[in-house]
Amino acid sequence: MRYDFGSDNTAGMAPAALRGLVEANEGFARAYGADDVTAKAADQIRRRLDADAEIRFLFSGTAANAIALSMLAWPHEAVLAHHAAHVCTDETGAPGFFGQGVGLIGLPGFSGKIDHRALTAALEESEVGHRQPPAALSLTQSTEYGTVYTAEELRHLIEPAKTKGCGVHLDGARLANAAAAGFDLTQIARLGVDVLVFGGAKAGGLCTEAIVMFDRSLARRIDNRLKQAGQQASKARYLAAPFLGMLETNAWEDGAAHANLMARRLAEGIVTRSPYVLAHPVEANAVFLRMPAKAHQALNAAGWACYRFDDGSVRFVCSWATTQEAVDEIIETIAILN
């Protein structure tokens, strides 16, 4: 394997995250999140969001998303989301599992962004006793197709959902990349998001995420909920420490900015040197190409990992660890294989 562009999950921990983990290992600390490392990491997140919120650190993004959605919808209700959202396609029904039956309603929209008209139509459907009515809206920033919602685009989706009494969840697994692309994190709470999953794993952390509850009423008995779900760590500082290491040094933002830059370089190089076209705009750290199956197989056989995505395009994802040399080399390989 020359380089794995299959996902940003394939990269190791960023040095700042690893240092944070090592430093947190010194001495003793109070258990179950009552330690200083966890408190400092939570404060760093609050500063970036410019909002008061209740924060917990969880073992995975899937658990964070699913538990967040279970806070917003009853088992007889459903969550509206883009049909390609991670909660719909890659979490094995976890929202329904943690929500004891909560349903998912997939909505269309170009490049991972929910279409406003489709959302409005779903919200205006008559409620009947035979279907789960929508009780929440789930948004993804940046999206599964590497695009970034503007604050105005989010407002046009959140306002009608709120008017209908829906709660709002934001999956921020790649929130760092959205921020590096210019999205203002301080808008999240102001737009009316109730609960955010603040991404750490794809930004260079360990395999942990933070769940941020702007609506503090959602935090009632949150520790009981997490304990029952197997998501309350006794040595919680080890979940928070990589966040603290990255946030204190700005490595969270810097790594994402580098990943985005490498994605732009990759996209520009491939489009210039080959006949392949972009399937989606390159706004964060992912590049999607319309590439024939034979060319994709040849690229994999040459030692480059890349993934055929749900829409049939081939996905290349850059991370904090992606090197310019690797990007230039795969561009050359694609040009030769063409």
Give the number of other CB atoms < 10 A from CB of residue 324.
12
Measured CA to CA, the distance from residue 132 to residue 125 in angstroms comes to: 11
- With bands split at pLDDT 50, 70 and 90, how would you rate the model's confidence at 90? very high
Q: What is the DSSP string of 222-248?
A: HHHHHHHTT---TTTHHHHHHHHHHHH
Structure-token pair, residue 325: 């040399």
For residue 2, what is the DSSP state?
Answer: -
Which residues does residue 316 pair with via DSSP β-bridges, in sequence order? Answer: 287
Strands (E), 199-323: 209-213, 277-278, 286-290, 304-305, 307-308, 314-317
pLDDT at residue 58, rounded to an integer: 97
In this predicted structure, the answer to whether residue 1 has a pLDDT above a threshold of 90 is: no
Give the number of other CB atoms < 10 A from CB of residue 294.
9
pTM, to two decimals: 0.96
- Residue 193 one-letter amino acid: V
pLDDT at residue 167, rounded to an integer: 98
More confident of the two residues 255 and 4: 255
Measured CA to CA, the distance from residue 9 to residue 208 in angstroms comes to: 12
How confident is the model over 7-39, as pLDDT tens digits? 999 999 999 999 999 999 999 999 998 999 999
- With bands split at pLDDT 50, 70 and 90, how would you rate the model's confidence at 337? confident
Q: Which domains does the chain have, with CATH numbers?
A: 3-10+251-337 (3.90.1150.10), 15-249 (3.40.640.10)
Beta pairing, strands 3-4 & 78-82: unpaired
Angle between helix axes 116-124 and 151-163 (nearest 10 degrees) is: 10
How confident is the model over 259-286, as pLDDT tens digits? 999 999 999 999 999 999 999 999 999 9
- Residue 155 one-letter amino acid: R
How confident is the model over 39-61, as pLDDT tens digits? 999 999 999 999 999 999 999 99
Determine the number of helices (DSSP H) and then strands (DSSP E) in the chain: 14, 13
In this predicted structure, the answer to whether residue 144 has a pLDDT above a threshold of 90 is: yes
More confident of the two residues 262 and 3: 262
CA geometry: angle 96, 86, 135, nearest 5 deg:
45
CA geometry: angle 49, 256, 195, nearest 5 deg:
35
Mapping DSSP to helix (H, G, I), strand (E, B) and coil, where does residue 304 land?
strand
